[in-house]
Amino acid sequence: MTRLIDVSRYRLKPTPAQETALLEHCGHARFVWNLAVEQHRYWRPGRKSAPGFAEQCRQLTQARAEFMWLRGGSVIVQQQALKDFAQAMAGFFGGTHRHPGFRKRGRSEGFRIVAVKADQIRRLSRNVGEVRVPKVGWVRFRWSRAVPEGVKSYRVTRDAAGRWHVAFAAIPQPVPAPGTGESVGIDRGVAVSAALSTGEMLNVPPLRERERARLRRLLRELARARRGSGRRSKVKAAIARLKARESDRRKDWIEKTSTDLARRFDVIAVEDLRISKMTRSARGTIEAPGRNVRGKAGLNRGILASGWGGLVRRLEHKAPGRVVKVNPAYPSLRCSACGIVDREARESQAVFRCRSCGYVGNADVNAAGNIRQSIAHAAGHAVFAREGPRVTGPAHREPQRDLLLVR
């Protein structure tokens, strides 16, 4: 299923007083959620159905009348927890999700606010923003990147390390096609994250050398630290922070790159190859029959780190109907200049040298050129060429709730 919403996460910086209030919201949401889980736990096919959302809301009103501490909290937060639960159950019955389970204190803490208005999020300075949380007020967050337009809901969470985040959910807006008729082929590179048929090489920013050294040191320390020791959990948290930084940079790169490509080209061609297939098996293809199993293992990490799958997914969101998946024959052995397939042309991993026409180029760029040239063969493109670029997308739909659930 393609995700129909954009979720961008930011570090929330509550004051100590706000933190107490946020924790209370979390506690209420957890309490209500767990109550709903409890009610559904004993349900079996054939029995009288477990209470639905309406009935649960009635029960919530009763519970609020009964428990002072619950009454003091936000009814918005508490009702939303019930809605989330109802949605999770729908996902369960629909066969797409597991049965929702109990939420534990200190883990999976969070709550969600929907029907967010534009004036409930504002920017204070270059690096600081504020979001209005019911009964808590304006809470600051680190404006680490642009907040998407049209935020419909947000989720506030607290991780095991005690850090708070706010994740804004918005319907992604398709990027308009330039209308120039320009097309581009993209190849997931070996040495780079993505090579374009234009000759550009795109790279996910890796961890800096200093960060990598720190990561190695932390991993060594972790191996030495005693199980259950405070030292160990500290080291673990530090490692998690470094990994999170790496993944943030990758997401950021995916966002920027996909927008840029959608803006510059009318048609974007990528190879129709499931990333899972490539990463899971090293059995080989016609082009490289079974060699290099070890080399492939290293490559797998690179592919995953490069965020290739994420890039293609985001391209499909931002350029709906303009991403063409093609199936070129021998993309890495065919010369993109003259079309000859030459098994000896691959001089090295990086260089393609055609013995027929003399073309010399980066092997990944050559493959990207072949991918671009096979657009004409893709069935989808015939339709596309007649109708012109279609800029379609979800218009004013609410974000799909089940997709917003944090699992």
- H-run or E-run covering 216: helix 209-224
Q: Which of 367, 363, 311 is nearest to 191 (CA)?
A: 363
* 364 counts as catalytic: yes
Return the range that interacts with Zn ion (CB under 5 A); candidates 44-52, 78-86, 237-245, 330-338. Answer: 330-338
Structure tokens at 243: 């990994």
Scanning 71-79, 104-112, 183-191, 347-355 for contacts with Zn ion by CB under 5 A, the matching segment is: 347-355
Total residues interacting with Zn ion, rule: CB under 5 A:
7
Q: Are 83 and 401 in contact (CB under 8 A)?
A: yes
Nearer to Zn ion, 161 or 357 (CB): 357
Helix (H) or strand (E) holding 6: strand 6-13
Look up 344 and say whether it is catalytic: no
| Gap between the Cα atoms of 86 and 36, Å rounded | 9
Residue carrying structure tokens 């657009």: 375
Residue 292 makes contact with Zn ion by CB under 5 A:
no
**Rounded CA separation 278/295 (Å):** 13
Binding residue for Zn ion, selected from 4, 337, 391, 403, defined by CB under 5 A: 337
Residue 50, CB-side half-sphere exposure with 13 Å CA sphere: 15
Task: Please list the residues that pair with 9 across neighbouring strands.
Answer: 167
Q: Indicate whether 330 belongs to the interface with Zn ion (CB under 5 A).
A: no
Note whether 335 binds Zn ion by CB under 5 A.
yes
Of 354, 365, 368, 375, which one interacts with Zn ion (CB under 5 A)? 354
Residue span binding Zn ion (CB under 5 A) among the ranges 156-164, 183-191, 310-318, 348-356: 348-356
Sole binder of Zn ion in the list 17, 219, 338, 351 (CB under 5 A): 338
Q: Smallest Cα–Cα separation from 361: which of 353, 370, 349?
A: 353
**CB of 355: closest distance to Zn ion in angstroms?**
8
Q: Would you count residue 167 as binding Zn ion (CB under 5 A)?
A: no
- Give least dist CB 359 to Zn ion, A: 5
66 is annotated as an active-site residue: no
Q: How many CB atoms lie within 10 A of CB 59?
A: 16
Residue 282 binds Zn ion (CB under 5 A): no
* Contact between residue 11 and residue 141 where contact means Cβ atoms under 8 Å apart: yes
Of 20-28, 218-226, 313-321, 331-339, which segment contacts Zn ion by CB under 5 A?
331-339
What does the binding site for Zn ion look like in residue numbers (CB under 5 A)? 335, 337-338, 354, 356-357, 359
